[in-house]
């Protein structure tokens, strides 16, 4: 698929590069690095606080701090400009104090802020899943050896979490590369924006194709860096000791400071967008007639996202299994190339699929299957990453044992491997499902005529400045995508607790 | 637990299967021979609309109820849809392309993917508002304006022409959207009227004067209303649409009406694809959009200018004839390459 895509655009290549391209490249890479770093700084401690500490309302924060992921960046971008812009709502609230104008959020700071706030949950989710899968007896062992909490965090937890943090960080970095909504609304000139401009302005497909190839190269570099950081190591355990009661670490006086920090984070990343959209809804007069189309659109969104998720899961399993169990040059190549789609702007992926299918498989063209395929190409790495992380924790010896005991290949897979990687599979599907729901550029181009989704409704309305009409579908979109995410986080919990119950018996 | 996973997978499978059911296809006739007028009728039409569902959805509905013909509409960005049609080539499922601006239509016409429209359709609108070669026809008109914040700027203080905004006095107070199709059409008009050198100088002077870049017209009008900037270079109807939700917005439109590029009246228009098997039916839709019922809709709902005789624009707007649009052929606005080159040189895109 990916290679076919390469040949689709490859034939368009062969045009002069502009000097501006280098500047763009540096700016875009800088943004990706800054966003990823900030996301890790926020997410890793947060993952630990919401799984291992005695933070008040730990369960609630587990869900709430992951939720910003459901906000589409094109909605979040609008909301942040409306709220924190030079003359936004915050300024209006502060104007009695004589604040005439807030500093510009446009450009790098704004794009950095918005992208960090809406992507750190990627790292949070992968890291949490990994912490919950860890065997706390390692920590206990370290504790009995006289190590301090701090040393344990750095020397026992962090090395074990590295694959998960790297997988999450990779998703953040690639998301930053392909995002269009946030960078365009916050007026940051990134590579993806340049690609869009060259499509929109000049219908110039060649220049856009070349820019896309550069973006692919950049993303391959990032993927390579990630797999380097994942040193050869065994992360799995053989016995099932993980069901034991996990350590809860008292935060002492810091409890409420962490609590305040979580509150602040959620207020900013979730509160601002929801409040702004709510304000559009309440204030506007044109919002009321948006109810019925919103329902149809919600149904369509669910259908398309479900089809995409299924396709993604089917494609992701072999990639993940191959890369974990049979590491080789080939499997690494396959895995790496599966990330390319994710780093590319949706518009580029969509147009290359158009190029391929309109010509050679017209019966697929403009059907829902094609849209599902696009979601598959775009979001494969999310599923692969989550599956791989949990597969890494399953010892191959368990499979071997099952085979020795007479189970067939299929039996081993369904009875041994699948139950053990289920958290990863579920996490992967939930991620793919909710990102597919909010995906916009490919949905716009590839959905069958007459097939409106929530994302396209929101886009259409904001584009024509009908903000009130955008509010209902935007809120429904956020609410609907919260469901898989909440499920995902609570699922982790119930697993932890079922472990507890087993332990008690 | 395993059951639950199996259940989820099955559900996904069923949903996916349910949605891959083929859409009912339109009547399969062989594509018409070229040059014989509009050919082929069908019970349904596929439309690519670069105009949003909130703007044109209701008028499409009306056509469906009145004629019983089903319209399958794909909404999107004009330029992206144009790119899509170019990518699809002769395999495009679209019958009709409804574009935001003449530039998008020009791109399709250039690749020779539109049929020649019959003269009885073209004659409905003034000659200036359809393609020279008769491959597309305008449906509604929009004027370039300057939107200004009424608290910070008095209309009388606005410069006499767009060139005045390069003055120090306007430093950092003006917003524009160099990536926007309407803006680019305006720059093309500037080039046609005053030459490339003058256009380049103006762009550079505006940039030096710290003109703020926005993504599209709505954010500009929003920013002007909020007082973030004081003046914005946009199309006239964005303010009128925003005002429906925000009656108190402190902004107003200034129409230049001076025959310069800043007074350009552009059109949203349509063309019928050569690959369509329902060209005649598509022609009926165009006729409907250009009927007094259709035109009245654009007046009331999108605050645009009607293009046929006998329908009047909103009373709050200056008449089309008063706008004094520059003497320029809209078909010439397809020379986007030159404009984009200028914008690139100026570092704006």
Residue B14 pLDDT > 50, yes or no?
no
ipTM value for the complex:
0.76
Range of the domain at A61: 2-504
Which CATH number goes with the domain that contains A473? Answer: 1.10.3720.10
Identify which has the larger pLDDT, B52 or A502.
B52
B210 lies in the same domain as B181 = yes
Provide the pLDDT confidence category of residue A10 given band limits of 50, 70 and 90: very low
Q: Is the domain of B172 the same as that of B230?
A: yes
Tokens of B297: 């809709």
Mean pLDDT, range B170-190, rounded to an integer? 92
Asked if B276 contacts B282 with a C-beta cutoff of 8 angstroms, the reply is yes
Q: How many Cβ atoms from other residues are within 10 Å of residue A495's Cβ? A: 19
pLDDT score at B83:
82
What's the structural domain count of chain B? 2
Q: Which of B24, B55, B74 to mutate: most A Cβ within 10 Å?
A: B74
Q: Give the whole-number percent of chain B exceeding pLDDT 90.
A: 60
Poorest-pLDDT segment among A134-148, A298-312, A316-330, B124-138: A134-148
Asked if the model's pLDDT at residue B235 lies above 60, the reply is: yes
Residues B128 and B152 in one domain: no
Report which listed range, A303-307, B179-183, B342-346, is most confident.
A303-307
pLDDT > 70: percent of chain A:
86
Kindly identify which residue of chain A lies nearest to residue B95, measuring between CA atoms.
A449
Same domain, B126 and B159: no
Provide, as residue numbers in chain A, all residues whose Cβ is less than 8 Å from the Cβ of B225: none
Greatest mean pLDDT among A11-15, A39-43, A348-352 lies in: A39-43
Quick check: is B3 in a domain? no
Give the count of domains, chain A: 1
At B265-289, the pLDDT tens digits run 999 999 999 999 999 999 999 999 9
Q: Of the candidates B15, B241, B337, which has its C-beta nearest A306's C-beta?
A: B15
User: Which residue of A203, A441, A466 is in closest CB contact with B79?
Assistant: A203
To the nearest 10°, the Cα dihedral for A186, A191, A192, A196? 100
- CB contact (8 A) between residue B1 and residue A419: yes
For residue B123, being part of any structural domain is answered with: yes
Q: Which helix (H) or strand (E) holds A132?
A: helix A108-133
Give the pLDDT score at A289: 62
Residues B126 and B79 in one domain: yes
Closest A-chain CA to B338: A202
Mean pLDDT, to the nearest integer, of A70-90?
85
Backbone angles phi, psi at B135, to 5 degrees: -95, -15
Task: Express each pLDDT in B34-45 by its tens digit.
Answer: 445 788 888 999
Q: Which domain, by its residues, includes B187?
A: 142-265+335-345
> Residue A184 CB: number of other CB atoms within 10 A?
24
Q: What is the mean pLDDT of residues A197-215?
A: 71
What pLDDT is recorded for position B28?
Answer: 41
Q: Are residues B178 and B222 in the same domain?
A: yes
Same domain, B113 and B236: no
pLDDT for A445: 85
Same domain, B193 and B341: yes
pLDDT of residue B32: 46
Which residues of chain A have a CB within 8 Å of the CB of B73?
A: 449-450
Specify the range with the lowest mean pLDDT, choosing from A296-300, A429-433, A480-484, B10-14. Answer: B10-14
User: Is residue B25 in a domain?
Assistant: no
pTM of the model: 0.81
| Whether B321 contacts B258, CB under 8 Å | no
Of the given ranges (A120-134, B132-146, B156-170, B291-305), which has the lowest mean pLDDT? A120-134
Confidence check: pLDDT of A57 > 60: yes
| Confidence category of residue A492, pLDDT binned at 50, 70, 90 | low
Whether the pLDDT of residue A362 is over 80: the answer is no
In a domain, B341, yes or no: yes
Q: Which helix (H) or strand (E) holds B306?
A: strand B305-306
Question: Is there a single domain that holds both residue B173 and residue B221?
Answer: yes
B161 with B258, same domain: the answer is yes
Q: Do B153 and B202 share a domain, yes or no?
A: yes
pLDDT tens for B117-152 read 999 999 999 988 999 899 999 999 999 999 999 999
Task: Give me the mean pLDDT over the B14-24 stretch.
Answer: 42
Q: Which residue of A has its CA nearest to B60?
A: A450
Torsion over CA: A137, A143, A145, A147 (sign): positive
pLDDT band at residue A504, thresholds of 50, 70 and 90? very low
- Is B142:B268 a contact under the CB 8 Å cutoff? yes
B16, A310: Cβ pair inside 8 Å?
yes
Q: Rounded CA gap, A457 and A465, in Å?
A: 12
In whole angstroms, give the CA distance from residue A88 to residue A78: 11
The alpha carbon of A302 is separated from its chain's Cα centroid by a whole number of angstroms, namely: 18
Q: Which pair of tokens denotes residue A177?
A: 């590369």
Nearest to A203 among B74, B83, B215 (CB): B83
In this prediction, residues B154-169 reach a mean pLDDT of 95
Q: Which own/partner pairs from A255-264 qualify as long-range (CB within 8 Å, at least 24 positions apart)? A: A255/A53, A255/A54, A255/A55, A255/A56, A256/A56, A258/A49, A258/A53, A258/A55, A259/A55, A259/A56, A259/A57, A262/A46, A262/A49, A262/A55, A262/A61, A262/A64, A262/A65
Q: Which of A93-102, A259-268, B168-177, B271-280 has the least mean pLDDT?
A: A93-102
Among B15, B54, B207, most A C-beta atoms within 10 A, so best to mutate, is: B54
Residue B26 within a domain = no
The radius of gyration of chain B's CA atoms, rounded to the nearest angstrom, is 22
The enclosing domain of B167 has a CATH number of 3.40.190.10
Mean pLDDT of A249-265: 85
Please state the rounded mean pLDDT for residues A38-65: 89
Q: Supply the pLDDT for residue B20.
A: 41
Per-residue pLDDT of A102-133, as tens digits, reads 777 788 999 999 999 999 999 998 888 778 77
Please write down the HEC assignment for all residues of B206-270: HHHCCCEECCCHHHHHHHHHHCCCCEEEEECHHHHHHHHHCCCCCEEEECCCCCCHHHCEEEEEE
């Amino acid at each position: 698929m990916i290679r076919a895509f390469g040949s689709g655009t490859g034939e368009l290549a062969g045009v002069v590069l502009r000097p501006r391209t280098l500047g763009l490249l540096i700016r875009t890479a800088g943004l990706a690095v800054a966003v990823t770093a900030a996301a890790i700084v926020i997410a890793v401690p947060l993952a630990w606080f919401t799984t291992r500490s005695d933070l008040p309302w730990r369960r609630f924060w587990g869900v709430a701090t992951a939720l910003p992921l459901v906000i589409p960046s094109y909605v979040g971008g609008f909301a942040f400009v409306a709220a924190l812009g030079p003359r936004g709502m915050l300024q209006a609230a502060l104007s009695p104090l004589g604040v005439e104008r807030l500093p510009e959020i446009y450009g790098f700071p704004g794009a950095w802020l918005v992208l960090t706030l809406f992507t750190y949950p990627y790292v949070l989710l992968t890291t949490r899943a990994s912490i919950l899968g860890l065997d706390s007896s390692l920590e206990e062992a370290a504790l009995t050896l006289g190590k301090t909490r701090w040393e344990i965090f750095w020397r026992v937890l962090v090395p074990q979490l590295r694959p998960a943090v790297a997988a999450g960080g990779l998703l953040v970095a690639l998301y930053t590369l392909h995002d269009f909504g946030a960078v365009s609304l916050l007026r940051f000139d990134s590579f993806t924006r340049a690609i869009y401009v060259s499509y929109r302005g000049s219908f110039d497909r060649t220049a856009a194709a070349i820019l896309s190839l550069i973006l692919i190269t950049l993303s391959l570099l990032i993927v390579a860096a990630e797999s380097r950081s994942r040193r050869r190591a065994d992360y799995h355990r053989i016995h099932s000791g993980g069901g034991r009661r996990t350590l809860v670490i008292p935060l002492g006086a810091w409890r409420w400071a962490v609590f305040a920090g979580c509150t602040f984070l959620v207020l900013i990343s979730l509160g601002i967008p929801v409040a702004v959209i709510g304000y559009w809804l309440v204030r506007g007069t044109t919002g009321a007639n948006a109810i019925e189309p919103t329902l149809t659109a919600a149904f369509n969104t669910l259908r398309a996202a479900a089809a995409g998720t299924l396709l993604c899961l089917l494609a992701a399993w072999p990639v993940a299994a191959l890369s974990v169990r049979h590491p080789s040059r080939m499997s690494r190549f396959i895995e790496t190339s599966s990330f390319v789609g994710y780093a590319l702007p949706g518009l580029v992926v969509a147009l290359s699929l158009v190029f391929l299918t309109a010509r050679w498989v017209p019966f697929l063209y403009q059907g829902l299957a094609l849209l599902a395929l696009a979601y598959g190409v775009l979001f494969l790495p999310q599923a692969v990453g989550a599956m791989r992380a949990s597969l890494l924790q399953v010892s191959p010896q368990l499979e071997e044992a099952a085979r020795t005991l007479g189970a067939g290949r299929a039996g081993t897979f369904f009875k041994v491997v699948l139950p053990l990687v289920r958290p990863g599979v579920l996490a992967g599907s939930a991620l793919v499902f909710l990102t597919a729901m909010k995906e916009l550029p490919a949905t716009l181009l590839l959905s069958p005529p007459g097939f409106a989704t929530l994302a396209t409704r929101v886009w259409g309305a904001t584009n024509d400045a009908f903000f009130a009409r955008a509010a209902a579908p935007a809120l429904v979109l956020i609410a609907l995508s919260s469901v898989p995410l909440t499920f995902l986080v609570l699922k982790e919990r119930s697993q932890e607790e079922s472990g507890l119950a087993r332990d008690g018996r | 637990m395993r059951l639950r996973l199996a259940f989820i997978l099955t559900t996904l499978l069923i949903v996916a299967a349910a949605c891959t059911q083929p859409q009912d296809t339109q009547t399969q006739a062989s594509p018409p021979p070229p040059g014989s007028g509009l050919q082929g009728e069908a019970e349904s039409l596929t439309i690519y609309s670069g105009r949003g569902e909130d703007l044109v959805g209701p008028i499409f509905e009306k056509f469906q109820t009145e004629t019983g013909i089903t319209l399958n509409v794909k909404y999107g960005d004009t330029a992206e849809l144009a790119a899509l049609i170019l990518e699809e080539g002769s395999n495009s499922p679209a019958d009709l392309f409804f574009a935001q601006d003449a530039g998008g239509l020009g791109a399709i016409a250039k690749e020779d993917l539109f049929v020649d429209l019959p003269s009885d359709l073209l004659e409905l609108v003034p000659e200036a508002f359809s393609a020279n070669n008769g491959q597309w026809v305008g449906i509604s008109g929009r004027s370039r304006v300057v939107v200004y914040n009424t608290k910070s700027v008095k209309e009388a203080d606005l410069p006499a022409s767009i060139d005045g905004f390069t003055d120090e006095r306007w430093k950092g107070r003006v917003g524009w959207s160099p990536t926007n199709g309407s803006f680019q059409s305006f720059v093309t008009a500037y080039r046609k009227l005053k030459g490339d050198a003058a256009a380049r100088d103006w762009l550079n002077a505006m940039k030096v004067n710290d003109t703020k870049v926005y993504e599209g017209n709505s954010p500009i009008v929003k920013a002007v209303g909020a007082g973030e900037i004081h003046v914005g270079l946009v199309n006239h109807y964005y303010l009128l649409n925003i005002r429906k939700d925000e009656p108190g917005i402190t902004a107003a439109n200034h129409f230049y009406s001076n025959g310069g590029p800043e007074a350009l009246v552009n059109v949203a228009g349509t063309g019928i694809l050569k690959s369509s098997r329902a060209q005649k039916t598509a022609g009926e839709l165009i006729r409907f959009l250009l009927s007094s019922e259709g035109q009245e809709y654009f007046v009331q709902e999108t605050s645009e200018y009607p293009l046929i005789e006998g329908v009047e624009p909103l009373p709050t707007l200056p008449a089309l004839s008063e706008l004094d649009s520059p003497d320029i052929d809209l078909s010439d606005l397809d020379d986007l390459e030159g404009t984009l080159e200028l914008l690139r040189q100026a570092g704006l895109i």
